A and B are shown apart, each in its own frame.
Chain A
Amino acid sequence: MSTATADIHAHDLPADTRTNYLNVDHSVKSWLLTKDHKRIALLYLISITLMFFAWFPRFRQRLAISLCR
């Protein structure tokens, strides 16, 4: 999967496929009210990745408490 082969693939793409599920509409509404399973998958991916950092506010609280002591 070198860059060279990737470029050949890009040239092979017919022009009408340049519109895809990502760039078909850029508005926030088009993302939050989408029925496209691929966009909903990305909503999950982003929200779950953000939840991964949910410990942070609590961590700061605890850190502040332990520093006060």
Chain B
Amino acid sequence: MMIGARDLAFPRLNLLSWYIYIIGAAFTLYAVISGGVDTGWTFYTPYSSTFAHTQVIPTALGVFITGFSSILTGLNFIVTIHKMRAPGLTWFRLPLFIWAMYATSVIFILGTPVIAVTMFLLGLERLLHIGIFDPAIGGDPILFQHLFWFYSHPAVYIMILPGMGVMSELITAFSRKRIFGYSFVAFSSLAIAVISFLVWGHHMFVTGQSVYAGLVFSVLSFLVAIPSAIKVFNWTATLYKGSISYEAPMLYALGFVGLFTMGGLTGLFLASLATDVHLNGTYFIVAHFHYIMVGGAVMAYLGGLHFWWPKITGRLYPDVWARFAALVIFVGFNLTFFPQFVLGYLGMPRRYAVYPAEFQTLNVMSSAGASILGVGYLIPLIYLIWSFKYGPIAGPNPWGAKGLEWTTPSPPPTENFTEIPVVTEGAYDYAQTSGSRTHHD
């Protein structure tokens, strides 16, 4: 809808992706219910291939199948963005969310086959013991880690890039300003996608790679901070002298800027070889990861959900509750994960249920924060479901936002637009107060 299209390029393929996803999820769910896995989420060999007696095969199969859903969706998005844009919607008039989804789709297509092959090899090794990861017959267990992280590092960018795209939409809409440095924000998405494939070794600083490989991966990991920082600086510059209003989506967006910045900066500590040796395997990593994935990706998800909810359902949710929930989530999140930075720095390793007495206070704080965070997530679940049935009618554009999706009724008709819009201006042209994008009703 944001590119003025009636649907994706391949609607049937889109539905197929969902069914493949459900089948993959069914295998994974079966694995969870029938005993789970004891390999950790990383499935490191040789434990996963030779020694574990848990549901490794169903889980690997679940991941393998779900991968095809990602690949097909990535393909669908790329073709759609190339071929289905409305007349006049040139590449540099695209909403930045679309640039972010394009970059994400590139990672889908280049990265997901690698994890699929890795899971396939893991299955072969486990069932037939062909020796790929077994040094006794010429294999190498470390090879698994290379293959695994070659996908699994880009995978975190799959999660954060769409969130960054959402951010560019929210920040501009609620500060009533054009984005600062459009092309820098657009190309930083592509830069993140490209560099994401070159940094996997930073997960393996302490698992036996040469010191030179470590140095190169360290430098490349620093490099990925540049496009990420460009985005943060440009969002901040967009806020400058903006006419800012603090509706619920904007609260999530501002939360994102702060929390993602903290997550990104602590990432630099971990990308430095000397500090990583100290911090590796501690709560510091857990905190860093969650500042990006929850403080970043989940905040953006909730912000986006609240922003487009009136478009999706045609209904408004109670704004007071929404702002309250955003605040509860922000407080709960920080109380959960900030103490973990301190714990990790003091040397508390991750994945242990017991710890020395001096770590008690910080751990209790973290647990209390998790409960607050849980409540924070339940509040939107309740009022969003309520609003779907009883919320006041939203109208086509409750935020007064730019973007083609706001020019059509809420909820939109099946074909999205009664007549395909013709675009005559760039994205986020909030400078003009009168007259929005040209559309013919």
Contact = CB atoms under 8 A, between A and B. Distances in A.
A, B bound: yes
Interface in A1-59: 1, 3, 5-10, 12-14, 17, 19-22, 24, 33-38, 40-44, 47, 49, 51, 54-55, 57-58
A37 B7 contact: yes
Contacts of A42: 312
> Which one of B15, B247, B396 has the greatest number of beta carbons of chain A within 10 Å?
B15
A10 B319 contact: no
Interface string B74-110: 0000000000000000000000000000000000000
B14 A37 contact: yes
Contact of A36 (B11, B25, B36, B393): B11
Nearest to B313: A22
A67 B247 CA distance: 45
Interface residues of B, number: 39
Contacts of B120: none
A1 B319 contact: yes
B440 interface: no
Given A21-B411, A21-B414, A34 B394 contact: no
Contacts of A35: 7, 11-12, 14-15
A43 B381 CA distance: 16
- The binding surface of chain B is classed by DSSP as loop
A17 B32 contact: no
B33 A9 contact: no
B396 A40 contact: no
B8 interface: yes
Interface string B34-55: 0010000000000000000000
A1 B399 contact: yes
A47 B414 contact: no
Contacts of A1: 247, 316, 319, 398-399
Interface residues of A, number: 35
A59 B398 CA distance: 41
B349 interface: no
B248 to A, nearest CB: 10
B405 to A, nearest CB: 10
A57 B413 CA distance: 39
A44 B312 CA distance: 13
A35 B141 CA distance: 44
B412 A38 contact: yes
Contact of A21 (B29, B395, B412, B441): B412
B409 interface: yes
A20 B395 contact: no
Contacts of A36: 7, 11, 414
A21 B413 contact: yes
18 contacts: A1-B247, A1-B319, A1-B398, A1-B399, A6-B316, A6-B395, A7-B392, A9-B394, A9-B395, A9-B396, A14-B441, A20-B409, A21-B414, A22-B314, A24-B414, A49-B381, A51-B25, A58-B32
Given A10-B393, A12-B395, A17-B409, 19 more contacts: A5-B395, A6-B398, A8-B395, A9-B395, A19-B413, A20-B409, A20-B410, A21-B412, A21-B413, A22-B313, A33-B15, A37-B7, A40-B14, A40-B15, A43-B18, A44-B18, A47-B21, A49-B381, A58-B32
Interface of A: 1, 3, 5-10, 12-14, 17, 19-22, 24, 33-38, 40-44, 47, 49, 51, 54-55, 57-58
Interface of B: 1, 7-8, 11-12, 14-15, 18, 21-22, 25, 29, 32-33, 36, 247, 312-314, 316, 319, 381, 392-399, 409-414, 416, 418, 441
